[in-house]
Structure 1
Amino acid sequence: MSASPIRTRPLALDINGRRHGPVDVPEDMMLVDVLHEYLGLTGTRFGCGQGVCRACTVIVDDEHGPREVRSCITGAHYFNGKRIRTVEGHAERDDTGRLKALSPVQQAFLDHFSFQCGYCTPGFVNAATVLLERLAKRPIAHSEVERTITEALDPHLCRCTGYVRYYRAVKQLVLETPGLVRDTEAARKPREGTP
């Protein structure tokens, strides 16, 4: 009895602004495995393998996006022809690949010592990036900031319990980035009659 051959199909991806493929990839392979095994992009983490912890989150930019997609439970071929961002694509680099500057989210996490082991950090970076990009298009009221950040970050799990620091970093970034909150200036000014 012979084993059946692994069925493959061509896969072409646009990752972090760079075209990859087409390359023959097994039909049932998840994107996280393609990133690691075929493309050498190991920043996206394989955590629970069930899409619960969200360490494997990538950003998809399409007519619905930007949006988060869990790469450990989503087949690679779903992403065929799509534009994807991984954690490696956020920082600014020079022509030689050397780091020039971290993204605002990455810098905020570093400034707030948001992570301990760092395993969940790529997922949190992508979640916060999607949140900031959405707020740039549709600013929210100051009264909605805490709820909005909580909804964006709550699905992500941190085994070192760094939630408070992640949250604080994102909150500061949201409040200090012009155009994300509609009434930030009004919220900062004391009301008449208050000391």
Structure 2
Amino acid sequence: MTAIQSAGLDSRSLSMTINGEKIGPTQVPAGLPMIDFLHEYLGLTGSRLGCGQGICRACVVIVDRADGTSEEVRTCINGAHAFDGKTVRTVEGHAKRNEQGEVVEMSPVQQKFLEHFSFQCGYCTPGFVNATTVLIERLKRNPIAKDQIEATITDALNEHICRCTGYVRYYEAVKDLVLATPGLVKDAA
């Protein structure tokens, strides 16, 4: 009898790919929030539990679809089993690391956030990094006109809450990244 069974908790098998690594199958309590699975089972604590109600989006991860698109998914209001069989990226999966696990190169999003000092306490930063990553990947597939940049960034980041009010720096960093990355903005016709 497992510890979960002896505690009277129903458990189910769970498998997924996280940051390129196959996880599972492992027995996980039914109804366990994904944020708790990431923190307690995998030691991936970059995604933050902010509001616990799916409002602030500090907890979002990226779910990659088979068609090459991706989306942000909140982990505080979605159970771990909702991610069964999916491919997930957490904020820990963006930077390149050496064999010892040390960061050797930040992602372009992380680098721009650092250059613009886009964070104060940093609690919301993982959610903003993931949202911006999804946006940049989308723009690589479907570039936008230059006059749509600000509205597109606002749309992508609007639901993320920063309690330190670092919005201006986040938006400036994302705009700088969009303008500096070839192929994201259509040439004027």
The structure having more radius of gyration, on CA atoms, is 1
The SS at the match of 1:43 is coil
TM-score under structure 1 length normalisation: 0.91
Distance in 2 between residues matched to 1:100 and 1:5, nearest whole Å: 44
The Cα shift of 1:154 comes to: 0.6
Counterpart in the other structure of 1:129: 133
The Cα shift of 1:4 comes to: 8.0
Counterpart in the other structure of 1:190: none
Percent identical across equivalent pairs? 63
The Cα shift of 1:179 comes to: 0.3
* Segment drifting more, 89-98 vs 162-171: 89-98
TM-score under structure 2 length normalisation: 0.94
1:52 aligns with 2:55: yes
The correspondence of residues 121-160 of structure 1 with structure 2, limited to 5 A, is: 121-160=125-164
Q: 1:98 to 1:144 in 2, by over 3 A?
A: same
Counterpart in the other structure of 2:27: 24
Counterpart in the other structure of 2:3: none
1:75 aligns with 2:79: yes
Runs of 4+ with >3 A deviation:
none
- Cα-to-partner distance string for 1:89-147 (whole Å, 9 max, x where unaligned): 00011122121100000000000010000000000000000000000000011111100
State the Cα RMSD in Å: 1.5
Unaligned regions of 5+ residues in structure 2, if any? 1-5
Counterpart in the other structure of 2:184: 180
The Cα shift of 1:85 comes to: 0.2
Counterpart in the other structure of 2:99: 95
Unaligned regions of 5+ residues in structure 1, if any? 188-195
